[in-house]
Amino acid sequence: MGKPTGFIEYLRELPVDRAPGERMRDWGEFHHHMEERHLRQQGARCMDCGVPFCQTGKLISGMASGCPVNNLIPEWNDLVYRGLWHEALDRLHLTNNFPEFTGRVCPAPCEGSCVLGMNAAPVAIKTLENAIIDKGFESGWVLPHVPPVRSGKKVAVVGSGPAGLAAAAQLNRAGHLVTVLERADRPGGLLMYGIPNMKLDKRVVVLRRIELLEREGIKFICNANVGENVEGPLLQRDFDAVVLCTGATQARDLQVEGRALPGVHLAMDYLTASTRSLLNGGADHAAIHARDRDVVVVGGGDTGTDCVGTAMRQGCRSLVQLEILPRPPDARAADNPWPEWPKVYKLDYGQEEAAARFGGDPRSYSTTVKKFSAGAGGALASLLTVTIRWEKSAAGQFTPVEMPESERTLPAQLALLALGFLGPEQSLLRDLKTAVDARSNVQAEYGKYATSIKGVFAAGDCRRGQSLVVWAINEGRGAARECDRYLMGRSSLP
């Protein structure tokens, strides 16, 4: 620890965001970079806490507490403070294959469990992580590392999201010949089409890493939908092992009257159409577009926020976001103590942009949709909402109860359903005949990752359900280690 009094001397500081009115006019990332002296001061705030909860990576009350990939956070914070950036990058890469992803899109459970956060603002861990990897790329320190010896074993990784990329990177590092199959037209999975460009630049950040993996020897095959145009059993025949990293892409729907009307879409279909049109050079020609429309986003999570930010850039006429849960408190509640993830109110980038344009936070809490209604042309024209309250049932479970006389009609020509996901799509699992658990996820024990089929492993959201990018990386690394052990009888992968 370089500066014992750093957490006293320096306040928490974050990169300045581009002004909402400016950034809504383009699709570029919205954070500015911090000067090095300020970054080093932020590194100095990391205190000698003795037990660094920031890197524990545990589930507490069902939510992540600490870093799921067990980043060596105090070590690289200290190295940043000392100006030893290359050494900081080396420590960061020991545990995280893709810090340029997590440094941009991770909600930072590490900061929620920072010991300093007990009575002050936590260390700006996510900012420092992103700064380390960006400096590494800018300085030419991030280079392809081709394994010196090949094992001769062939592994197919199904899915190129964060779990698939992490598994592929680690298995390639072990010397295996890795082929990644992706059903979309570009690799990257969730990173490519599930997160909009202003949060994670596709060409500068995602494709840069994929090209690096290709130079290390990993082969990517796109438009390969295993279970549809690629037969799962053929993978078992042609490869020595298979790792399933398909994600949990079966969206939760909202089965109310009018759901089938034109203008009601799943959020991921909307985000995918937007990013694909942007990458194809025609951002204004997305198949689903919000221009001059009244937009209602149903769902208050990260995907809902991304829909808000996308609709703002497409020039929506108005925007409302419905959240079925109550408004979170401004500070930790008594039943949400440190080091749990802090369930507190925040204005994320999308809501900040909507507030700048329309005058306030667009979210309507404790609200759900009761009915979608058509206009004269047969397409969506409005929706009926209702306020709900949460009551505990006799079984001790909270259930939503409709408040009387709380119905409200909202104009809407575009409704986006961002209600989370139910698990992996089943065609591939049926094709391979893998066992599934009660939640329809691939059945594979955490830590072992082996499915019911010999030589087939599973990792990420398809195994654990919808979760964070950083958990997907953790699982991809773990599945690679167990797959390597299966192939070679032992493994030196971390």
Q: How far is CA 333 from the centre of its chain?
A: 26
Q: How far is CA 225 from the centre of its chain?
A: 22
For residue 313, pLDDT beyond 70: yes
Residue 1, pLDDT score: 64
CB of 150 closer than 8 Å to CB of 487: no
pLDDT tens, position by position, 344-396: 999 999 999 999 999 999 999 999 999 999 999 999 999 999 999 999 888 88
Residue 394, pLDDT score: 84
CA–CA gap between residue 484 and residue 300 (Å, rounded): 40
Is the pTM higher than 0.85? Answer: yes
For residue 283, pLDDT beyond 90: no
Would you state the structure tokens that stand for residue 450, as one six-digit string?
A: 């082996």
Range 425-430 average pLDDT: 89
The amino acid occupying position 75 is: E
CA terminus-to-terminus distance, the chain: 25
CA–CA gap between residue 418 and residue 387 (Å, rounded): 18
Would you state the structure tokens that stand for residue 94, as one six-digit string?
A: 């020991």
For residue 2, pLDDT beyond 80: no
Residue 88, pLDDT score: 98
Q: Write down all domains in the chain, each with its CATH number in brackets.
A: 6-138 (1.10.1060.10), 154-249+422-488 (3.50.50.60), 253-419 (3.50.50.60)
> What is the C-alpha R_g of the chain?
23
* CA dist list (Å): 406 to 7, 320, 341, 367: 48, 17, 32, 9
Residue 461 sits at the vertex; the CA angle it makes with 132 and 61, to the nearest 5 degrees, is: 85
In the chain, the percentage of residues whose pLDDT exceeds 90 is 92
pLDDT tens, position by position, 30-71: 988 999 999 999 999 998 888 899 999 999 988 899 999 999
Residue 395, pLDDT score: 84
pLDDT tens, position by position, 462-476: 999 999 999 999 999
Residue 475, pLDDT score: 97
Would you state the structure tokens that stand for residue 431, as one six-digit string?
A: 């094709």
| Alpha-helix runs per DSSP H in 50-161 | 73-81, 85-95, 99-105, 109-112, 125-138
User: Helices 349-358 & 302-313, crossing angle to 10 degrees?
Assistant: 40
Strand 398-402 and strand 380-392: the pairing is antiparallel
Exposed, middle or buried by CB within 10 Å (0-12, 13-18, 19+), for 491? middle
- Locus of tokens 């919808």: 466
CA–CA gap between residue 405 and residue 382 (Å, rounded): 18
CB of 243 closer than 8 Å to CB of 482: no
CB of 100 closer than 8 Å to CB of 205: yes
Helix H or strand E segment including 172: helix 162-173
Range 184-211 average pLDDT: 97
Residue 190, pLDDT score: 95
- Locus of tokens 């390639």: 172
pLDDT tens, position by position, 77-100: 999 999 999 999 999 999 999 999
What mean pLDDT value characterizes the chain?
96
